[in-house]
Amino acid sequence: MKRLYLALSLAAALAAAEDAIPKHPRELKFAPLAYAPPHAADFRHKLASGSVAFLVEDHELPLVNISVIVRTGEYLDPQGKKGVARLTGSQIRAGGTKSKPPEAFDDEAAFLAANISSGIGPLEGNASLNCLAKDVDAGLALFIDMLRNPGFAEDRLKLARTQSLQAMERRNDSTTEIETREFERLLRGPRHFSTVPMTKASLDAITREDLIAFHDKYYYPANFILAVSGDFKTAEMLAKLDKAFAGWPNRKPPVPPPPTSDLAPTPGVCIVGKEGVNPGRVRMGPPGVMITSPDHMAIPIMNGILGGSGFTSRITSRVRSDEGLAYQAASVFHHGNFYEGSFATVFQSRNPTVAQAISIIKEEIERIRTGKVSAEELKTEIGRAVDSFPRRFGTAGLRASQFADDYYTKLPADYWDKYRSRVQALTADELQRIAQKYLHPDQLVILIVGDADAIVKGNPDKPEYSLEKQGSITRIPLPDPLTMVYP
């Protein structure tokens, strides 16, 4: 009798559990995501040297990560010496220090199993140290010696010159590099610092003394923002950092901000010819916006529906899945922190079908302008943004880096507190307004890299898709890779 009772009870429990299991994943219900982003002010410290540091403890692994943002960048290259910043950034690490030749520095870092790097990009310098917590004193000493006293060894600089020259010689080999370079020139013009290239002449003009002068001008503690995470106690790490930077003098003149760009792109089709290349690469779009734009939160949601969210987006579904014209087709949006970012549709398609793919993308742009997105599309894209939001702060390293980046770009202190509510408040009407404001199919800059004759010829079986119908066609010749002079 007891066994029968247990069997009946088990059967009833199983039946109840089966009834509780949704018949389809769409029926799954989840409680609203509750997540409060951390506040940078709780982790921010002003060092005695003038540096600002964000310290986030994490005792899960016996590691320490120290990253430094330097207020500098390629936009500060001296006139006629494009490449000084980039070489300075790489040689701070590669060239040893004043007291340690490069080989000795490399050996000490390897002995500590420490990963030490440095570099300078368009808008900032950077350096990082990753080491075991037990070796943090030795690792930090090596790291600060690199930042403060770079040796800029002649043999390493000579090697860097050779590598830079070899890279220049290959400039016109990669259609990916050509596409990126030429699209930026079309958007920002040839004189914005981001589109002015290093040439053999500018490389030859750079001396070791130029690197020393650039370092002396921009590398000092008050010009650093630190992101520190890992296995340490905050008070002890602050003491270590104060000791490490002690005696390093600061400079008073403020670092000038990056220059804005004069955006005046000319709509139309531009082709960079690469004979025999198939498929053709295409990038098309208007300029982007700055993070200060009131529309900068709505644009990524609209863009996600248009082409930014993979297989659920309209462009990917239409161009790739429905028409089979491209393996990958998407739209990308990056806001700018110092000047306008970029907003473009990108794809690769066989030469005869490039014009057809362009026509379809223009149709999708017009569709998102003239009709409201569906409630399901809006819900999915907002949900994606809101649900992925905590990943920005998912680890101690990510939190420290986010705090440092936000401080450098002067993001409002309450930006992340308001982020989700502002995104969740977006409506279909608002997205349509954004699309109508920024997307104009007849005003797109369309860049094609590939076999120009084959692309212009198009598909004889579908003459209705003609490249000539997309606007005036301008052929852009490839420049000399060493002088960057265009024929």
pLDDT in tens, 405-452: 999 999 999 999 999 999 999 999 999 999 999 999 999 999 999 999
Instruction: Using the structure block, give the residue that is written with the tokens 């905590």.
Output: 390
Cβ-proximal residues to 205 (8 Å cutoff; 6+ apart), any chain: 80, 81
Is the pLDDT confidence value at 280 over 70?
Answer: yes
User: What pLDDT does 232 receive?
Assistant: 98
Q: Do the domain assignments include residue 202?
A: yes
Which helix (DSSP H) or strand (DSSP E) does residue 131 occupy?
strand 125-132
Domain end, chosen from 178, 211, 245, is at 245
- Whether residues 192 and 286 fall in one domain: no
Q: Do the domain assignments include residue 3?
A: no
CA distances from 323 to 320, 355, 360, 373 (A): 6, 13, 9, 21
Give the residue-averaged pLDDT of 289-318: 94
Which amino acid makes up residue 431?
L
- Whether residues 361 and 422 fall in one domain: yes
What is the pTM for the complete model shown? 0.91
Q: Do the domain assignments include residue 235?
A: yes
- Whether residues 323 and 436 fall in one domain: yes
Distance of alpha carbon 13 from alpha carbon 130, whole angstroms: 53
Is the pLDDT confidence value at 44 over 60?
Answer: yes
- Whether residues 48 and 150 fall in one domain: yes
Give the residue-averaged pLDDT of 468-480: 92
CA quadruple 358, 363, 368, 373: dihedral, nearest 10:
-110
Give the residue-averaged pLDDT of 390-397: 96
User: What pLDDT does 64 receive?
Assistant: 98
- Residue 297: give the domain boundaries: 268-403+415-476
- Whether residues 328 and 467 fall in one domain: yes
Q: Do the domain assignments include residue 31?
A: no
CATH of the domain at 299: 3.30.830.10
Burial of 348 (0-12, 13-18, 19+ CB in 10 A): buried
Q: Do the domain assignments include residue 214?
A: yes
- 63-77 pLDDT, tens digit per residue, is 999 999 999 999 999
- Whether residues 79 and 195 fall in one domain: yes
Is the pLDDT confidence value at 21 over 80?
Answer: no
Please give the tally of structural domains in the chain: 2
Does the bond joining 300 to the residue before it have cis omega, within 30 degrees of 0? no
- Whether residues 140 and 78 fall in one domain: yes
Q: Do the domain assignments include residue 7?
A: no
Residues in the chain: 487
- Whether residues 361 and 229 fall in one domain: no
At residue 169, the 3 state secondary structure works out as: helix
